[in-house]
Amino acid sequence: MKRKAQTYEEKLADTRIEIGSGNVFADLGFANPEEMLAKAQLVSEIQKAIKKKKLTQTEAAEMLGLTQPKLSILLQGQFKGYSTDRLIRFLRILGQDIDIFVTPKLRKQAHLHVYSSLEKPSFAITVKPHR
């Protein structure tokens, strides 16, 4: 017997939804999720800066001291082996100002924010205190 195709509403009713923490790396159980999210956000800003300057990947890679294939891999989110400092240096090379603000924590855990001056901050990274 042929099964009747589900309507959109029926498919939606069968969908399980989980509310995330705001950090996909933490939700997936990665080690150092705060650092990974910060790096992902910095890579996103690198990609925006390259697009804004209308650079090819080859031109951008040359500016950053990378090969085009390595830049391509980085822009696809493979940032293992890149320190936060190096990603910030790439942004400076691409003509971006970097501002680091240190303020007293208002919550139990301190947070790290990375955002573009063109956007409102929309994410926070929880930083565990060092002991």
Q: Under the phi-then-psi rule, with left for phi > 0, alpha for psi from -120 to 50, and beta for the rest, what region is 106?
A: alpha
Q: Are 112 and 101 in contact (CB under 8 A)?
A: no
Structure tokens of 85?
A: 């400092």
Residue 90: CATH number of its domain: 1.10.260.40
What pLDDT score was predicted for residue 131? 46
List the helix and strand counts (H, then E) for the chain: 6, 2
In a domain, 87, yes or no: yes
pLDDT digits (tens, 9 = 90+) for 35-46: 899 999 999 999
- Evaluate whether residue 93 is within a structural domain: yes
If one counts the domains in the chain, the total is: 1
Residue 72 lies in a domain: yes
Residue 13 lies in a domain: no
Q: Pairing relation of β-strands 110-112 and 125-127?
A: antiparallel
- Is the overall model pTM greater than 0.75, yes or no? no
In a domain, 12, yes or no: no
Residue 38 falls inside a structural domain: yes
How far apart, in whole angstroms, are the C-alpha atoms of residue 88 and residue 15?
A: 40
